[in-house]
A and B are shown apart, each in its own frame.
Chain A
Amino acid sequence: AQSVTQLDSQVPVFEEAPVELRCNYSSSVSVYLFWYVQYPNQGLQLLLKYLSGSTLVKGINGFEAEFNKSQTSFHLRKPSVHISDTAEYFCAVKRSSNTGKLIFGQGTTLQVKP
């Protein structure tokens, strides 16, 4: 069975500092990987996705993530965060052979301080 672990429940960081949100997954088959973001009082929206090809993927708002197959990780990074990046971030995985379900991690709350 697949699972997703987000290693930090909360990440406080000062504005303009770099940030990394960690995500590890377990699966014995090929997977697709995703990061979703949930701003306060809103639904989730897709930040970026890895389906195949280059292991470094870029998303919206300056975020990027790197797929590392040997370490089964898909960490999210941003070189310089803004106050507006304060949100909850979810890592998700889907089997590439499966037409349906996403498996979500527990979520990481990014708190950007002025």
Chain B
Amino acid sequence: DVKVTQSSRYLVKRTGEKVFLECVQDMDHENMFWYRQDPGLGLRLIYFSYDVKMKEKGDIPEGYSVSREKKERFSLILESASTNQTSMYLCASSLGGRAYEQYFGPGTRLTVT
């Protein structure tokens, strides 16, 4: 089975802190994605990556950056956390030619106080 793991299930940070969310997949997938999930808004794409060191902005990249130094790992960075970034963050991965069939991690619920 494909496994996508996220470093924390729950995280509490203070406003202004730099926050790192880590995601690792074990199936050699080329594509990796970061979403945030908010009630009534569904999932919104923050960033995605098709290859190592390659990234593209999604629909809501403001306030976020990403890093992909190794194929299996995709990190989401909040440079200066704000309360409006309190949310559930989901990481996903997929094969290169099947970007629609994404495998998701369990999510990290981030609270910024």
Contact = CB atoms under 8 A, between A and B. Distances in A.
Contacts of A94: 99-100
B61 interface: no
Interface string B81-105: 0000000001010000001111111
Chain B binding surface SS class = strand
9 contacts: A4-B42, A34-B100, A42-B106, A43-B92, A44-B102, A45-B103, A49-B100, A106-B42, A107-B42
Interface residues of B, number: 25
A25 B79 CA distance: 35
In the complex, the 7 A-B pairs of residues with the closest C-beta atoms, listed nearest first: A43-B104, A104-B43, A104-B42, A44-B104, A106-B42, A43-B106, A94-B100
B40 to A, nearest CB: 6
A100 interface: yes
A106 B100 contact: no
Given A100-B56, A101-B48, A46 B43 contact: no
A43 B48 CA distance: 17
A102 B104 contact: no
Contact of A106 (B40, B48, B92, B99): B40
Given A34-B100, A42-B106, A46-B101, A101 B45 contact: yes
B105 A32 contact: no
B89 to A, nearest CB: 11
Given A100-B48, A102-B102, A43 B43 contact: no
